[in-house]
Amino acid sequence: MNTYMLKNGETLIIRRGTVEDAVRLSHYISRVAGQSDFLTFEPGEVTGINNTSNEKPHKASGLVLLAVVNGRLVGNLNFMRGARSKIWHAGEFGITVDKLYWGQGIGRQLIACLLEWAHKQKNIRKVNLKVRSDNERAIILYKRMGFKEEGLLRREFYSNEIFYDALCMGLCID
């Protein structure tokens, strides 16, 4: 568990999610689903947080971080690593922050916690992400955190009858 002071003076706690947080996380995702067109899901699309795969991973497959302010869930980061041995060293993350807390540094702190965790793992060598190519604020943050542009996926996102490209970014862990 890590504690930070936000720009607005409130205290942010970032901790690992547990199975007991699943319902709370599901409610949070439902709450933030309509707050940004940059998210990969629409309101009502995420109805539960669980693993529906019949395949059992041979090791822990990722990390879930929760950002909490005054007992309220205000952000999360989910890192999922490759499922097979040849891609087990790399993974991709997704991140959300409640719109009421945009601009407070929560996204930066969540990513910093992910990278700190990744550096401690002996078998994670790459952290990847996809971001809509017009999400300038997020791209600036990712670059400041050391991520490099690695490619462009054309028409990867579709929202309001418009296609958007996805910028692939990555950070090698030495």
Measured between alpha carbons, how far is 109 from 126 in angstroms, rounded to an integer? 19
Q: pTM of this prediction? A: 0.88
Q: Evaluate the CA torsion angle 152, 76, 98, 52 in order and state its sign.
A: positive
Residues with Cβ within 8 Å of 60's Cβ and at least 6 positions away in sequence, in order, are none
Mean local confidence (pLDDT), 152-167: 95
Chain segment 131-159, per-residue pLDDT in tens: 999 999 999 999 999 999 999 999 999 98
